Amino acid sequence: MNTPKALSKLTKEVSAYCFTGTDQVILYAGYADGLILMREITKMSEEKKGQHPIKPLIGHLNKINQMLFVKDSLFSASQDCTLREWNVKDEICARIFKF
């Protein structure tokens, strides 16, 4: 999802973020519109820069307030009154908790 719209979001203010990994570092950034973008930010050689795609996690309907990574899951809390568990390997929402 390396569209101009998605790429422009990287320069805008995020409402929540977290990092994960040791060998492969992933940045998860949450935005006010509920979108979560994930991107590998592992140190790359000059010839490989820009080859790591931005991937969306779509599901929340409002601002992302908090995110936490545990094992292979990303947990995100939103002002849409849900907590979502994301399976980051498959890039899907595994569970939704409403509060």
The predicted structure's pLDDT at residue 85: 98
Instruction: Write down the pLDDT at residue 15.
Output: 93
Tell the burial category of 76 from Cβ atoms under 10 Å away from its Cβ (0-12, 13-18, 19+): buried
- The domain segmentation of the chain, as residue ranges, is 4-98
Distance CA 65, CA 87 (A): 19
CA distances from 46 to 43, 55, 82, 90 (A): 9, 21, 40, 28
CA distances in angstroms from 20 to 16, 26, 82, 84, 98, listed in the order given: 14, 5, 22, 17, 25
Q: What is the pTM assigned to this prediction?
A: 0.79
d(CA 99, CA 89): 26
**pLDDT value at residue 21:** 75
pLDDT for res 53: 77
Regions of the chain with pLDDT less than 70 = 1-12, 43-52
